[in-house]
Structure 1
Amino acid sequence: MTALARWCLRRRIVVIVLWLAAFAGVAVAAGVAGSAYSNNYEVPGTESGQASALMAQAFPGRSGDSDSIVWHTESGTVRAGAVEKTMSRTLAKIAELPGVSEVQSPYGKQADGAQGGRQISKDGHTAYASVVFDRPTDELDPAQVHKVVDTAQAAAGDGLQVELGGAGIALTEAPRAQLPEIIGLCAAAVVLFLAFGSLAATFLPIITAVAAVGTASAGITLLSHAMTVADFAPMLGMLIGLGVGIDYALFIVTRHRKGLRAGLTVDEAATRAVTVSGRAVVFAGATVCIALLGMLILRLSFLNGVALAASLTVVLTVAASITLLPALLGLIGMRALSRRERRQLAEHGPRRERPTGIAARWSGFVERHPKLLGVAAAAFMIVLALPTFGLHLGTSDQGNNPATSTSRKAYDLLAGGGAGAGRGGGFGPGFNGPLTLVGTLDGAKDRLAFDKLPDRLRHTPGVAQVSGPEFNGSRGTGVITVVPTSSPQSRQTSDLVARLRTDVLPAAEGRTTMQVRVGGVTASYDDFASVIVGKLPLFIGVVIAFGSLLLLLAFRSIGIPLKAALMNVMAVASSFGIVTAIFQWGWGSELLGLGSAGPIEPFLPVIMVSVLFGLSMDYQVFLVSRMYEEWQLTRDNCRAVRVGLAETSRVINSAAVIMIAVFAAFILSGDRTIAMFGIGLASAVALDAFVLRTLLVPALMHMLGGANWWLPSWLDRRLPRISIEPPPEPDGAAGPAEPAGEKPLVGV
């Protein structure tokens, strides 16, 4: 690490140019290649996945995306001459637009000879037309979809409301990351300036993080061509990369500034900052990446892409922190210190620094009242975690979008929750997520049984409407569409899927060779959630075991890893409680512009556990490392905990405030999934830094005394020794005296 720092300082211009060239090259390549993101939740081998595969094979003409144009009138009916003339003309224009394969109008007969009247609600106030695009959603051109939206909404007016919904239409409402990024960076800049008092030092962590995240974002775009990468992966990568990138650079810059105040030259201070804090940054980044890559054990292609994309961002932020940052430190010289600090250094020379102020007083307060504060902190975390027991994994749909979006309005009109709801308008809540029953048929007996199935389904509780059956050309595959009485995201619809699979369909199959599989949006997400829930214990166990092993090797203690695992679980559970209350219970979600209450995305627990365990490890190592060093020197547990907390709490809290600001800014992204990550991660970091690491952990360590550092002698002899801090330097190599309290551990 020392050699790397010296090389980057000697060739600072070369390093900066190389980073600029890497960013420009990857950005140009990504711009030329474009993106190929995919939100494919289907898991091979599940029933819904099999149903989807059979549909694609038997009915290839249905591979294109089908969206809806919905219109509603209060004063009359949609069959009125003026409304029919306006909408017929509009639908004809849309049918001629590029990218549109077909428009199925409710007026007149369809191409298959069926009447379009079923596309008009019973009260006559709402109607819809299906717009079939010529390619799947993942391949649609957003500009072409925008043309459809603009053409349709141009017909609105004179009491006629026109809205659009569907997966393709959602492309026109895709969140823009620029606003959250700018807000997060501005908030981070304010915190950094308050901490440093120097504009030059303030912008170094931000420049470093932006360079890394920008390069990673373009790299994720290229990665999407090689594997399945979710469309929220780039924004998730930005969210994580900006948070950890600024924090890692903060640790190194803080250490560099202390070296300057101790009288070291610019190159000496930067070299020692990277030598000491750079090792800790690499260790911390590695733990985050390993926690993220733990998602690979789930063997789900959807999560594999997310894991690699997020890990790529973290790797580049670490690389920028130990290469680009020292080059920039050498470039700005003594301006890393504020004018006042430079003047004091010139007038009074190097000075020793001791922990004073709020940090020292707080550390003493925790030492005097460990039981009271520990119980209060634990009770607070448990209360926040209670909503987690009611966690409902599923998928939010366009009914959870902000009330002002056209997709939400179209959803409500179709469901009957819009303007016509009071008069029984719309088509029912289940219309937005019909179930698809796909049967494989072998012979006349199977086809006869499949023909009788709709009658059995109509008498099944929870079924509002049944259409079909339809058969492919060879009549070896049949399809029945079932509209539930409840919305796609509701528990009632999930119960209906389970009822069909366990009771209704097995009874219908009887002694035939027919096999009927249940597919559709709800079935697909339920299968995805069940696979994740089934593998979640293994995943969490692996992440906890690996993190505990690292802490066991680093601190030679049984108690430290066990407490760390417990604290990490508490942070995750409490943050999930907050996410559940806001997004599932709807406490303030509409006020925040995040739409209505709904289930929690099934992949959220996995990704958040990965990220939070990695981030929590940073703070745990930072705090306990200083305590461990003091324990080795004095064998006084109270002093070790008091000094460690006093000397690290300020940097932990500053880093946490920056990360909270960056994460919380992404609530404004307009995307429900990213907002879940933003709120979940921001709340977890806040609880981890301000409740766990600076209150509950030291309180527990005071109560346990010397037992904190107990390790059986036989295990101590067999464990390999690793060290986060570098080996001690020979006397005289360090230059001026090291400030008191300045320890070669994580970040300072």
Structure 2
Amino acid sequence: MLRRTGEWSARHFVVVLAAWVVALGALMGLNHAYGGEYSDNYALPGTQSQDGLDVLRAHEPAAGGYSAQVVLYDGAKPLTGVSDQISSAVASLKKLPHVLNATDPLPAPGSTPPSPPPGTPNVGPLSTDGKTAYITVRFDVQPGTLGDDYLTGVDSAVEPLRAAGVQVEYGGSLGELARPEADDRVSEAIGFGVAIVVLIIGFGSLIAAVLPLVTALVAAICGLAVLGLLASVWTFATVSPTLATMIGIGVGIDYALFLITRHRQLLMNGQDPVMAAGLATATSGRAVLVSGCTVIIALSGLWVSGLSFIGLLGLAATSTVVTAVAGALTLVPAMLGLIGRRIDRLHIGTPVAETDPTPGDAPGETRPGAAQPGEVQPGEVHGTWHRYALRVERRPWWFLSAGVAVLAILSIPLFSIQLGHIGDGADPESFTDRRAFDLMSSAFGPGSNGPLTLVIDQTSVPAADRSALASQAQKALTGVPDAALITPLTPTSDGDVLIATAYSVAAPQDESTTSLTEHLSDDVLPQAVEGTTAATYVTGTTAAQVDFLEIVSGRLLLIIAVVVALAFLVILIVFRGPLVALKAAVLNLLSIAASYGVVVAVFQWGWGGPALGVNGDVPIESYVPMMMFAIVFGLSMDYEIFLLSRVHEAWLRTGDAKGSVAHALEITARVITCAALIMVSVFAAFVLNDSIVIKMMGLGLAASVLIDATVARLLLVPAVMTLLGKWAWWTPRWLDRILPHVDTEGEGELAQAGTNGAAGPRRTP
């Protein structure tokens, strides 16, 4: 079916190209008209933070909901001089849709502003010098879900203040909504620029170099449009489109590269362009299909987390992987059919192919007695990679030890990893939420940016016992470690719930704030109501982030186990060798551990964070390791299948385990290196993105691919395969009977076509 698809697409290239153009236009139009918005929704039903929010909504709607700050600052004069404008802004904010309440930070006319107790910090809403204040706005939904148009109403409400010379910044989730839309064009341009240089050097042809970029870009744009339509149904995180762009372009170029490389070799061997496109689709296209399905399976494993936020991130990446596979199997053959034999026009340098024709042979010809790929004839000269493979063969333990040592050193920072949520203080100063964070921290302390709402539900407590409960609880909330201030407990209007606000001594992203949140919820509040039937909760945005962190941390090992098991099964089914599948899983774990170490060293330890535009040391965003693991495990199968299929095929033909490794390394190393360099450049270019999470993902994925394609794929794999020898392909008889047979590289198609093309030697009975 794949061969027929490739040949039909190449022969009817006008129809296929027109269909892709129509699909591209239609999807972009539908996305523009009906596409949804992206927002970070950390709602976790059944958690303490969500239950506490539900209690507040039921008993004091104005105190419930999702809070954000509108921060005011006037360095020239106290804000009391613009009290009328502040009152007007508060009144206008209250009238906006979805706003439950907005609090005026200034004291009522004629009253004295409350002063904090001696020895305690002023946490607002008005600073001691009167020059900084914040309006707390509470929404009935996450502000991030309201869309960019909602900011127009907020801007109009505070316009009188700005006209009076007051600096107005938006903090919290409202500030996140006001962030400028991510512009990935610079990152994409850099990634494409490096990719085209690598492709020109590798292919030696400008036309062949441009093809993978064009097809990958078209497929990625289609995938992003599909993601936009899906966003109208589900709430995807704000990083979703950038993540999908990274993955889509990376795998799109790789998949097209594999097909075009095979196609050009078939042309060199004398095949007709249409038949060559069909054979390339049937062979390398089959590997692309297997690889794409593996990536999708790995990303689907994220749903095991039980968190829709994480699962939808996987779905976002899947959207562009699907279109990348579709583009490789239809759009690439159509482009190849359009170009025909002109693919090597504008020739530059020496082209790359999976195998090079024996020197002196014309394309499509084979000298009598010439060596077939993988066979060594007297006087035959092999390339650099073959000589390197022979060195590995002679000293496998040395290479294995060196590779493991490199990965072990890179993995050292992993043992000090601190998962958490990256706060607004790490953002660029061009972001309004960063400016709001700085103003709040300077005037009220860093903890003011992430207040914790303490809720005591005393509905079930008899009225006669509530006074004693309030006194007991207030005493328990005195002198709590890591708390800068805990306000007195106040009852709701119906008297059924007591509310207080706790402020940490540190910023919301700090580890001490996480410890304070856990201490309050697990120890302090339960002890405060001990002996009663009251229920306690810690809620608010910061508390929800801590709950999210705990759930993700608790399920990370489960995600790793599921994805590793899936990868093990894929390799086992494809290559029918338990030991080679186990080797693949273990080496992938080591490679990913090393890339985790790189991310921790750069961001958490601060080794290069400032150079990447990160303000200070930051924790590792809680879901980044989980996402990296699923994505990298899926992508690593690309090179794993590409290399091992050559080893396996040579082993079946010759029975020479060590010689098969050398042969496979010689004919795949150059293509793997080109593909890896392209993917690394695409991922690394995204460290220029303003989002710290995207910087982490970009650097982590780039490091993972680089380590996997060099240390693991070109050093550890040959060493381990040499040491395993024939045992790498040993399969128990009972397992051999139940495993399906998968012709990953479509060698049967090449045999039927009467050519070995670029695939190396054909299998013989």
> So what's the TM-score if we normalise by structure 2?
0.88
* Structure 1: unaligned runs, 5 residues or longer: 417-425
1:391 maps to which of 417, 425, 428: 417
Name the structure 1 match of 2:36.
Answer: 35
User: What amino acid is aligned across from residue 54 of structure 1 in structure 2?
Assistant: V
Does 370-379 or 314-323 show the bigger shift?
Answer: 370-379
2:686 to 657, 666, 678: 666
> Is the Cα–Cα contact under 8 Å of residues 446 and 513 in structure 1 kept in the other structure?
no
SS of 1:651 mapped into structure 2: helix
Whether 2:171 is the aligned partner of 1:165: answer yes
- Per-residue CA deviation, residues 129-155 of structure 1 (Å, 9 max, x unaligned), is 445678641343435537866997997
Give the match for residue 470 of structure 2.
451
Q: Which amino acid aligns with 1:170?
A: E
2:46 is aligned with 1:68: no
Over residues 560-608 of structure 1, what are the superposed CA-to-partner deviations in whole Å (9 max), with x where a residue is unaligned?
0111011110111111111111121222112111332211111112211
1:744 deviates by 8.1
Who is 1:420 aligned against?
Answer: none
For residue 69 of structure 1, give the secondary structure of its aligned residue in structure 2: strand
The match for 1:359 among 381, 385, 392 is 385
Q: Which one-letter code corresponds to 2:201 in the other structure? A: L
Q: Which stretch of structure 1 is more off in the superposition, 202-211 or 681-690?
A: 202-211
Match of 1:401 in 2: 427
Aligned amino acid, residue 552 of structure 2: I
* 8 A Cα contact 2:36 2:233, kept in partner: no
Residue 59 of structure 2 corresponds to which residue in structure 1? 58
Q: What is the deviation of 1:180?
A: 1.6
Aligned to 1:515: 535
The alignment status of 1:301 with 2:327, answered yes or no, reads no
Kept in 1, the 8 Å contact 2:89–2:161? The answer is no
Q: Does 1:436 align with 2:453?
A: yes
Cα pair 2:476 2:527 within 8 Å, conserved? no
1:254 to 249, 261, 269: 261
Report whether the alignment pairs 1:373 with 2:412.
Answer: no
Please report how far the alpha carbon of residue 367 of structure 1 lies from its aligned counterpart in structure 2 after TM superposition.
Answer: 2.4
Structure 1 match to 2:721: 701
Kept in 1: contact 2:169–2:435 (CA 8 A): yes
CA contact (8 A) 1:296 1:303 kept: yes
Give the alignment of 1:509-548 within 5 angstroms. Answer: 509-548=529-568
Q: Among residues 607, 611, 618, which one is paired with 2:638 in the alignment?
A: 618
Structure 1 CA distance, aligned partners of 2:314 and 2:329? 23
Aligned with 1:290: secondary structure?
Answer: helix
2:329 to 304, 322, 326: 322
8 Å contact kept, 1:594–1:675: no
Structure 2 Cα separation of the partners of residues 402 and 601 of structure 1: 17
CA gap 1:60/1:335 in 2 versus in 1, 3 angstroms: farther
Residue in structure 2 matching 1:189, options 191, 196, 201 = 196
The CA deviation at 1:611 is 0.5
TM-aligned CA distance change 1:433 to 1:495, over 3 Å: same
Shift, 1:161, TM fit: 6.4
1:501–1:339 distance in 2 versus 1, CA, 3 Å: closer
CA contact (8 A) 1:242 1:662 kept: yes
Note closer, same or farther for the CA distance 1:740–1:165 as it changes in structure 2 (3 Å cut): closer
Deviation at 1:279, TM superposition (A): 0.6
Counting only pairs closer than 5 Å after superposition, residues 416-431 of structure 1 correspond to structure 2 as: 416=442, 426-431=443-448
Task: Determine the structure 2 residue equivalent to 1:142.
Answer: 148
Greater Cα shift, 473-482 or 123-132: 123-132
Amino acid at match of 1:266: P
1:104–1:289: structure 2 CA closer, same or farther, 3 Å change rule? same
1:5 matches 2:31: no
- Choose from 224, 238, 244 the match for 1:217: 224
**Deviation (angstroms), 1:20:** 1.8
Relative to structure 2, which stretch is displaced further, 317-326 or 337-346?
A: 337-346
Q: Distance in 2 between matches of 1:159 and 1:24?
A: 46
Q: What amino acid is aligned across from residue 16 of structure 2 in structure 1?
A: V
TM-aligned CA deviation for residue 517 of structure 1 = 0.8
Rate the CA distance shift 1:207–1:125 in 2: closer, same or farther, 3 A. Answer: same
Report if aligned partners of 1:445, 1:512 keep a CA contact under 8 Å in 2: no
Q: Structure 2: how far apart are the matches of 1:15 and 1:7?
A: 9
Flag the 1:509–1:104 CA change in 2: closer, same or farther, 3 A.
closer
| Cα drift, residue 252 of structure 1 | 0.3
Give 1:612 shift: 0.8
Q: How much has 1:258 moved relative to structure 2?
A: 0.8
Partner of 1:121: 127
> Structure 1, residues 248-282: CA drift from partner, whole Å, max 9, x if none?
01000111111111111110111111011111100
Change (3 A) 1:111 1:671: farther
Pair 133,49 (structure 1): closer, same or farther in 2 beyond 3 Å:
closer
Quote the offset at 1:115 in angstroms: 6.1
Which secondary structure state, in structure 2, belongs to the residue aligned with residue 489 of structure 1? coil
The answer to whether 1:85 aligns with 2:87 is: no
Report the Cα distance in structure 2 between the residues aligned to 1:168 and 1:269, rounded to whole angstroms.
Answer: 55
Q: Say if 2:91 is the partner of 1:109.
A: no
**How far apart are 1:89 and its partner, in Å?**
4.1
Structure 1 residues 53 and 572: alpha-carbon distance in aligned structure 2, compared to 1, 3 A threshold = farther
Give 1:108 deviation, angstroms.
3.7
Residue of 490, 493, 500 corresponding to 1:480: 500
1:12 deviation in Å?
1.7
What is the CA deviation profile of residues 450-503 of structure 1, one whole-angstrom value per residue up to 9, with x for unaligned ones?
Answer: 533234313222222223534444333332211122221222122222222232
Q: Distance in 2 between matches of 1:303 and 1:59?
A: 32
SS at match of 1:598: coil
For the residue of structure 1 that corresponds to 2:228, the secondary structure is helix
- 1:196-227 Cα offsets, whole Å, 9 max, x none, are 23232222212221222111111111212222
Alpha-carbon offset, residue 87 of structure 1: 7.8
Identity percentage over the alignment? 37
> Once superposed, what is the RMSD of the aligned Cα atoms?
3.3
Q: Which residue of 1 aligns with 2:702?
A: 682
Contact kept? 1:659, 1:685, Cα under 8 Å: yes
Gaps of at least 5 residues in structure 2 are: 116-121, 352-356, 367-371, 374-380
What's the CA shift for 1:64?
5.8
Amino acid at match of 2:203: F
Structure 2 counterpart of 1:238, from 245, 266, 290: 245
Query: Distance between the aligned counterparts of 2:484 and 2:226, measured in 1?
Result: 47
Question: Please, which of 574, 595, 617 is the counterpart of residue 597 of structure 1?
Answer: 617
Q: Secondary structure of 1:478's partner?
A: strand
TM-score, normalization: structure 1?
A: 0.90
Query: Are 2:300 and 2:315, in contact at CA under 8 Å, matched by a contact in 1?
Result: yes
Partner of 2:524: 504
